[in-house]
Amino acid sequence: MKVKEGKISFEIPDKLTVTRKDEVFYNPKMETCRDIAVAIIEGFLKLYCNNKIAYIADALAGTGVRGLRYAKEVDYNVKVYLNDINPKAYEKIKENAKLNGIDNIEIFNEDANIFLAKHYRFFNVVDIDPFGSPSPYIDQAIRSLITKNGLLCLTATDTAALCGRAKRACLRKYLAYPLLGKDCHEFALRILVGYAMRLATRYNLLLTPVFAHATDHYVRVYLKTDRGAKRADKAFEMLGYVKDINGIKIVKAFSEGYEKGYSGPLYIGNLYDGKLVEKAINIAKNKGFKERVIKILMRIRDESEISQIGCYDTHLIAKILKVSVPPMEYIVNSLKDLGYKAAITHYNPKGIKTNANIKTLMEVLLEYKMRG
């Protein structure tokens, strides 16, 4: 069966279950993720790559759609290395590359960790997009990246673990306690970032997030490399533990140690590079990506300007106050009229990020009730 995505057409198995049982794995629901990835990687290379050519790894390539789109659509001089351990996937990637006349690639049929280990400190960008957790591949992915201005891209679909419904699985895979709640997806991002940061410090590397999103059934993070023991030490200043008490987040520094009832360790800084977000929006618009992609990126641009860990769940606050939830635009505009920053979160349509305190937000909800 032939399908089209972005600028490429490609063959996929006729029977598609989107499980490990598929002859060659392909998930059509990840198109939004791949669109965003094209925009972010192009934007990152234009901002931070000084090389004439950038090397990109798609270590778990499946049908090859992600890596082939990078080779075809990223407006930079790139060479993409696509790898999959499945011999049928390897053949399918070759067929799809030929179908699209793509030759700025190399194709491998190896275990992902062996493939990455053979390319020590070689790639400008490494993309790990597995079925499930990226945890088994992160260490070798870090080792295969250049140590200054490399980009590590990680997808995790094991949101049951990262979002707190499977706590033991989160401990096994990410060495962290998860946090339940309406903003659990943001904390899933923060746990994944924090885990990758801790792994990088053993190689005297600092990983810093430049973009992240939680969409549909997965979370996705992008981290930039920097080298040096002193820089790596800074990672621990960006880690901590968080406790949720009726929507209020209590934060402890990593140096204070774990305390029962807290989630973490996790990343407690800003998840976004504002310049990169803005550039990605322009790239996505110029490429004619779907409205949903633009909307996610623009929501994230608004979020990135607010230094708040988690969000306020307006449904929870309204329940406490025993009032109905006002329109989200009303809440945002009211807070802005009061001189605060405010944004609707991209991962929760009823979540608000703001530098106003909870008391002010409650007053906005109560004022709406009085007007009604």
Sequence ranges of the domains in the chain: 2-278, 279-371
Binding-site residue numbers are 34, 66, 84, 111-112
Average pLDDT over residues 7-15: 77
Q: Peptide bond preceding 265: is omega within 30 degrees of 0, i.e. cis?
A: yes
CB of 177 closer than 8 Å to CB of 243: no
Binding-site residue numbers for S-adenosyl-L-methionine are 34, 66, 84, 111-112
Please indicate, yes or no, whether the overall pTM of this predicted structure exceeds 0.75.
yes
The CATH H-level superfamily of 2-278 is: Vaccinia Virus protein VP39 (3.40.50.150)
Q: Tell me the torsion sign for CA atoms 55, 60, 66, 69.
A: positive
pLDDT for the residue numbered 18: 55
Q: Which residues pair with 250 in a beta bridge?
A: 243
pLDDT for the residue numbered 134: 98
For the chain, the first-to-last Cα distance in angstroms comes to 55
Average pLDDT over residues 183-207: 96
pLDDT for the residue numbered 368: 84
Q: What is the DSSP string of 75-119?
A: SS-EEEEEE-S-HHHHHHHHHHHHHTT--SEEEE-S-HHHHHHTT
Q: Which helix (H) or strand (E) holds 349?
A: none
CB of 226 closer than 8 Å to CB of 254: no
What kind of fold does domain 279-371 have according to CATH?
Phenylalanyl-tRNA Synthetase; Chain B, domain 1 (3.30.56)
Measured CA to CA, the distance from residue 212 to residue 210 in angstroms comes to: 7
Measured CA to CA, the distance from residue 320 to residue 316 in angstroms comes to: 6
pLDDT for the residue numbered 180: 81
CA dihedral (28, 31, 34, 36) in degrees, to 10, reads -160
Would you state the structure tokens that stand for residue 79, as one six-digit string? 């060479």
Residue of 252, 207, 212 whose CA lies nearest to 234: 207
